[in-house]
Structure 1
């Protein structure tokens, strides 16, 4: 038994002592150890590490629900957490939507590790070397990034994360798991132009700073002296970094079980809402032999599993926690979080299926370092008669959640393409676009052959994205207006 599971079990015992057997309770204990090596002006300027163990208790008593949390895990701290949560439940409003707690259920076996233990989940794609990575190992990758940029100004980070977590409830469910992740995100700058390179993996060994630095520098050099283009609808090739923003917004607002139940989502199950080439899967346990990027259970103790959100263009599922599932007359898909009852359950390990079987991460990164066009996007660019190659989207904001119309800006490189060749860099653009419409039937002209796992700047979501060739993208202005 891990230390985290021991704490979770003790909190359940205290709930029974204080509130009696009638109380229902769930406890999540999570130990997060994060280490970050940051660089700016082509020099490391910060190396920090933080490790915190947090305990979160959700309790339902006499028809009322309350939650509490603490980072004080000694006996007094845990007893105080239970006492104040019980007191909060007594003055909370009735909770008729309470779905109850999950009965004991075994964790699903990772596809990457079919022999791993079903109950504990401790062997789900865990890389010990990444969890125990040193500052020197991260600094090596930063050094390689800076050197490969060939004298251009660089900035960014290399980080490693280790998580060990456990869940217990009053119905007897008790599970534990751990995971590790590494990520690198850096830019190179020259003459006011920026280029970017990013990659995430469950193994620090997959991150090659030299490949990423060369890719960022090539993009920056190619993005100098941009021209301005008028507003209009443009054919586009979106590189994986840009596609990740599509996946994030689709997951947050579209495949959200609460939004679906409240009819605030575009999702219509069983309807062909996307191009037949589009398949979107949530893969919390990993796939294709790669280690799992997440824990094997959610914050309600529900075992996680692969969930196909879109199959061959047809919307097939949305993400549910126990509350939204009960309201929809179905079962939880394992997407509960600390905020899912408020903001809705969200798929957090989303992959848009590539056109072919992806190459290993190291091979993809090496090929991508050759120039301003990502290797996975090159065949798509070669087929474009006149359009835009877009590296990255940012500052995206939803204007209409139901149709998922989003406005935002491009950054880190846009190029005008004619007859399959880059003819000019383009200045930053503002766009206003319905994401489901952009991926609608007949609108996807091509999908890249590799899905690349990309780091997120905040939260715990991870998106694996290929390049996309789309028939139209609505440019509504330049970055300045």
Structure 2
């Protein structure tokens, strides 16, 4: 149905607006979510949504329509009525020429065919592994089918699957968290995640408050994912870059030589293999051995920068083209080895409520969450209360400041399906904690 709908909308738009440049993208997302709280499943939802995107450029004007309506004639008429009212668009970059996919995203049959009972079994494993602690969270699965056609002859079809589990275990007002995302449902291990969350919260009893200051830190994957997500949104975003608001300087050694960051929509964490403009996506290096290699573009920002689109357009998203599946490449060490090297520092489980103060320096403020521990003489000695921090993420990863990168990158789920971030443990020379629990 969706492939036929794509063709019907294109045909109707061509008839209604002869001579126009027209592109149609139809996405079908079949998603399901099993949510639990107080260690019991309380919600199971299943959605099957078809969304049609139609964009038309004619006589110097551009309009976009995005809707769940599937009447091809009505969509074409709506776009035609909007065109005379649209402002002139001198920056229109044209539509995508015929191009083949670089590679297909992962489609996993078990994920595609997952039942509520399958997700419930993972939840049960999580709850039981928590050993009687109160638990909450979710398990989700999704399947995407995408279809693209335009009046220049570009035609793409692809599919992908996504699964994720995110849960907490609670004890005496504290939370331990465990998260994992993958294109394959079989990669989710409810028991291992439940045990991880329980072990974390049990280690948080009787925390002490430490004074603000600069501390050596070891960041666990959830905290590192926040760094990568903010890099994606405010640093490697082509719109932010072309407007001069990004820290990124392609060709410059801005980060430590140990740091390699890439965007990978066809890797094990999942993603989609072409964008809203019908541009194929593949693995793209953003930082190579500390050297900024490039930023992500859609056709409009690419035209401004004098480069080619990297396949990161989201037409209905005003934030601009950004990496959707960023990965910090793993290193050659592990958490135990990192801890053993620390004379005095902090192990941080997670960040939250992070907000950008200055995108040019990537200065952010935020809080630690779900556990932090004092390390002395190579050993974890006790839990500490949450900190507020004010820190330039770029400065924290500058040459000489990265002391170690974990050997395993762990995919962290985002709030949206097919948008996951893969991060290892990260050992940094300094982190600026500006306030404690008392203020």
2:79 alignment partner in structure 1: 85
1:105 alignment partner in structure 2: 99
1:348 alignment partner in structure 2: 324
Q: Could you tell me the TM-score, scaled by structure 1's length?
A: 0.89
Verify: 1:72 aligned to 2:65, yes or no.
no
Structure 1 residue 191, shift from structure 2 partner: 1.3
Q: How many corresponding residue pairs?
A: 439
Verify: 1:230 aligned to 2:211, yes or no.
yes
1:314 alignment partner in structure 2: 291
Three-state SS of the structure 2 residue aligned to 1:413 is strand
In the alignment, the residues of structure 2 paired with residue 460 and residue 346 of structure 1 have an alpha-carbon distance, to the nearest angstrom, of 14
Equivalences for residues 120-269 of structure 1 within 5 A = 121=104, 124-269=105-250
In the alignment, the residues of structure 2 paired with residue 203 and residue 459 of structure 1 have an alpha-carbon distance, to the nearest angstrom, of 13
Equivalent position to 1:49, from 46, 50, 60: 46
2:431 alignment partner in structure 1: 473
In the alignment, the residues of structure 1 paired with residue 109 and residue 384 of structure 2 have an alpha-carbon distance, to the nearest angstrom, of 44
Contact 1:103-1:171 at 8 Å conserved across structures: yes
Structure 1 residue 296, shift from structure 2 partner: 1.5
Structure 1 residue 460, shift from structure 2 partner: 4.2
The 1:85/1:480 distance shift into structure 2, 3 A limit, reads farther
The 1:169/1:460 distance shift into structure 2, 3 A limit, reads same
Contact 1:5-1:175 at 8 Å conserved across structures: no
In the alignment, the residues of structure 2 paired with residue 438 and residue 465 of structure 1 have an alpha-carbon distance, to the nearest angstrom, of 16
Runs of 4+ in structure 1 over 6 Å off: none
1:424 alignment partner in structure 2: 382
Three-state SS of the structure 2 residue aligned to 1:95 is coil
In the alignment, the residues of structure 2 paired with residue 314 and residue 433 of structure 1 have an alpha-carbon distance, to the nearest angstrom, of 21
Verify: 1:461 aligned to 2:419, yes or no.
yes
In the alignment, the residues of structure 1 paired with residue 12 and residue 438 of structure 2 have an alpha-carbon distance, to the nearest angstrom, of 58
In the alignment, the residues of structure 2 paired with residue 458 and residue 17 of structure 1 have an alpha-carbon distance, to the nearest angstrom, of 36
Q: Could you tell me the TM-score, scaled by structure 2's length?
A: 0.98
Q: Deviations over 1:440-466 (max 9, x none)?
A: 010000000000111112464211100
In the alignment, the residues of structure 2 paired with residue 100 and residue 160 of structure 1 have an alpha-carbon distance, to the nearest angstrom, of 36
1:392 alignment partner in structure 2: 350
Verify: 1:37 aligned to 2:41, yes or no.
no
In the alignment, the residues of structure 2 paired with residue 301 and residue 479 of structure 1 have an alpha-carbon distance, to the nearest angstrom, of 49
2:8 alignment partner in structure 1: 10
In the alignment, the residues of structure 2 paired with residue 70 and residue 79 of structure 1 have an alpha-carbon distance, to the nearest angstrom, of 13
In the alignment, the residues of structure 2 paired with residue 49 and residue 31 of structure 1 have an alpha-carbon distance, to the nearest angstrom, of 13
The 1:165/1:423 distance shift into structure 2, 3 A limit, reads same
Equivalent position to 1:271, from 244, 252, 263: 252
1:412 alignment partner in structure 2: 370
CA RMSD of aligned residues (A): 1.3
Contact 2:142-2:417 at 8 Å conserved across structures: no
Contact 1:5-1:174 at 8 Å conserved across structures: no
Q: Deviations over 1:341-374 (max 9, x none)?
A: x322101111100014xxxxxxxxxxxxxxxxxx
Contact 1:251-1:347 at 8 Å conserved across structures: yes
Contact 1:376-1:466 at 8 Å conserved across structures: no
Three-state SS of the structure 2 residue aligned to 1:189 is strand
Three-state SS of the structure 1 residue aligned to 2:165 is strand
2:281 alignment partner in structure 1: 304
Q: In structure 2, list runs of 5 or more residues that go unmatched.
A: none
Contact 1:445-1:471 at 8 Å conserved across structures: yes
Verify: 1:402 aligned to 2:360, yes or no.
yes
Three-state SS of the structure 1 residue aligned to 2:5 is helix
Three-state SS of the structure 2 residue aligned to 1:130 is helix
Structure 1 residue 264, shift from structure 2 partner: 0.6
Contact 2:176-2:200 at 8 Å conserved across structures: yes
Q: Deviations over 1:140-166 (max 9, x none)?
A: 011111111011110001110111111
1:361 alignment partner in structure 2: none
In the alignment, the residues of structure 1 paired with residue 392 and residue 417 of structure 2 have an alpha-carbon distance, to the nearest angstrom, of 24
1:61 alignment partner in structure 2: 58
Equivalent position to 2:271, from 294, 298, 308: 294
Three-state SS of the structure 2 residue aligned to 1:85 is helix
Structure 1 residue 5, shift from structure 2 partner: 2.2
